[in-house]
Amino acid sequence: MGTAPGIRLFTLQPSSGVPIYLQLIQQVRRMVASGQLAAGAELPSVREVASEYTVNPTTISKAYSLLENEGLLQRNRGKPMTIAASRRTSGSLPQRLKQVEAQVDALVLAARQLQLTAPELCQFIDRKMGEDS
């Protein structure tokens, strides 16, 4: 299921303070989360997006690569990129941990300044994660 030319899948605003690659990443993530883009759905090529929205291809290609690293997109030889089959199994544990590293760094910094110990914090995280499941 490709996208017909001229039909815009994304809303990219070059003059926003949010870099274009981040806008694109956030929109793909949202569309996948909401089921608007299902596994196997094809994405327009870097060249198509760059030309359709009149934006530099480098920023689009950066977004696609980061989404691929996240395990959300799958690169296919000579064919359009597609939404990956399953997010859960994609990416090794170190890769998935890497994605939360910045938040964890911030959390650790805050915990140190509030003089929370690692066990206290872990217990709290355990409880929070239990709430959602």
Q: Note the residues at the interface with other proteins (CB under 8 A).
A: 14-22, 47, 50-51, 54-59, 62, 102-103, 105-106, 109-110, 113-114
Q: How many residues does the chain have?
A: 133
User: Residue 43 Cβ, how far from other proteins at the closest point, in Å?
Assistant: 17
Alpha helix (H) residue ranges in the chain: 20-33, 46-53, 57-70, 93-99, 101-113, 118-132
User: Residue 66 Cβ, how far from other proteins at the closest point, in Å?
Assistant: 11
| Residue (115 or 133) nearer to other proteins, CB | 115
Beta bridge partners of residue 104, listed in sequence order: none
| Residue (24 or 84) nearer to other proteins, CB | 24
Q: What do you get for the CA distance between the two ends of the chain, in Å?
A: 33
Q: Give the side-chain half-sphere CA count within 13 A for 40.
A: 1
| Residue (20 or 28) nearer to other proteins, CB | 20
| Residue (18 or 33) nearer to other proteins, CB | 18
